[in-house]
Amino acid sequence: MDDQLAISVRGLRKAYGDTVAVAGVDLDVHRGEVFALLGPNGAGKTTTVEILEGFRQRDAGEVRVLGSDPANPEANWRARVGIVLQGTGEFDELTVGEVVRHFAGFYPDADDPDKVVERVGLAGKAKARTHTLSGGQKRRLDVALGIIGRPELLFLDEPTTGFDPEARREFWELIRDLAAAGTTIVLTTHYLDEAEALADRVGVIVGGRLVEVAPPKELGHRQEALATISWRTPDGTPETAQSATPTALVTELAARFGGEVPGLTVTRPTLEDVYLTMIGHR
C-alpha cells in the first residue's frame, strides 16, 4: 500500500438484508488531508465510516486504514485512530476533567488532559459535571475524547450539529489546528459551508455510491459554470444575465452606465447549488 494514503478502499459493499447501503465504493484519503463525506440521509455515509472505524463488517471489498484492515487490525491500531462519537452519555456524574483523564488512561501516549480540555474550549468547565454541559459543550467534550490519544487519523461524524455560529467557527479553528499538526481528518457533515471551510476534498455519496470526489471549488465543474450577473437599469428594473465571460459584460455595463453599475453582483453556483443538482439528478 502507498504510505501516503491514510485510507484506501476498493469495491466496498455492504447490505442490510435487501437494503444495499454501500454499493461499490472506491476511495483514497491522503495522509494529512481533511476529507469531508457529504450525502443525503440514508446515502451510506455512516455505514462507510463505521466500516473504516472497524465497527461494522463489510460484505466485500478491500479496506486499508493506516495500513491495517479495520476488520482485523494490528495491535495498537485502535490507539492511532480517533473517533468522535455523538454523545458519550454514560459519565454524567463525572466532571469534564475526570472524563478526559479517564480516557487518557486508555492510550499508550495520551496527550495532557488539561491541555486537551483547554484546546476544545472547555477550560472554564473542567470541574463541571458533564450532565450540566450544553449541547455544544458536550460535543466539545466528545472531540476532547476523540483527540486525547493523539490520533494520526480522526473521524468526526456531523461534528457541529447543534452548535451556535460562534461555536462552529471556533470548532473549525480547532480542526484546522489539528490538520496543521498533521492529523488526517475524515468528517461527515450536512453543512456545505463546513465542507467548504475545512475540506481539502469532498466526496459525495448518493445511494451507496461515491458520485464525485473533488476539492470543494471544483465539485460539479463549479469553476467552469456560467456566472450570473445582476444589476438594475436606470429606471430601477432588476436585470440578470448569465455569461461565461462576466468580466466582459461588467466592462460593457460600466461603459453603458458611465461608471458604477447600480446593484451589481456577480455570482457563481455555490457548493450547495452544485451539490443539490448532483443529488437531485441521481
Phi, psi (rounded to 5 degrees) for 64: -130, 125
Phi, psi (rounded to 5 degrees) for 101: -65, -40
* 18 binds ligand ATP, rule: CB under 6 A: no
SS3 (DSSP) at 205: strand
Do the beta carbons of residue 249 and residue 176 sit within 8 Å? Answer: no
* 11 binds ligand ATP, rule: CB under 6 A: no
Task: Indicate if the alpha-carbon torsion angle 247, 253, 254, 256 is positive or negative.
Answer: positive
| Residue from 43, 63, 96, 122 binding ligand ATP (CB under 6 A) | 43
In eight-state DSSP terms, residue 188 is E
Q: Which stretch, 41-49, 88-96, 113-121, 148-156, contacts ligand ATP (CB under 6 A)?
A: 41-49
Order of strands, edge to edge, in the sheet holding 19-30? 19-30, 5-16, 60-65
- Number of amino acids touching ligand ATP (CB under 6 A): 11
Q: Which stretch, 35-43, 230-238, 253-261, 266-274, contacts ligand ATP (CB under 6 A)?
A: 35-43
Locate 226 and state its grid cell.
456560467
Q: Which stretch, 28-36, 38-46, 159-167, 263-271, contacts ligand ATP (CB under 6 A)?
A: 38-46
Q: Which of residues 45-84 bind ligand ATP (CB under 6 A)?
A: 45-47
| Residue from 39, 113, 146, 269 binding ligand ATP (CB under 6 A) | 39
Phi, psi (rounded to 5 degrees) for 270: -75, 170
Q: Which stretch, 43-51, 67-75, 111-119, 259-267, contacts ligand ATP (CB under 6 A)?
A: 43-51
Maximal CA-CA distance, the chain:
74
* 41 binds ligand ATP, rule: CB under 6 A: yes
| Residue from 1, 11, 42, 256 binding ligand ATP (CB under 6 A) | 42
Q: Which of residues 142-181 bind ligand ATP (CB under 6 A)?
A: none
Please state, in angstroms and rounded to a whole number, the distance separating the CA atoms of residues 218 and 202.
10
**What minimum distance in Å lies between the beta carbon of 33 and ligand ATP?**
20
Q: Please, which residues bridge with residue 96 across strands? A: none
Tell me which residues touch ligand ATP (CB under 6 A). 16, 19, 21, 39, 41-47
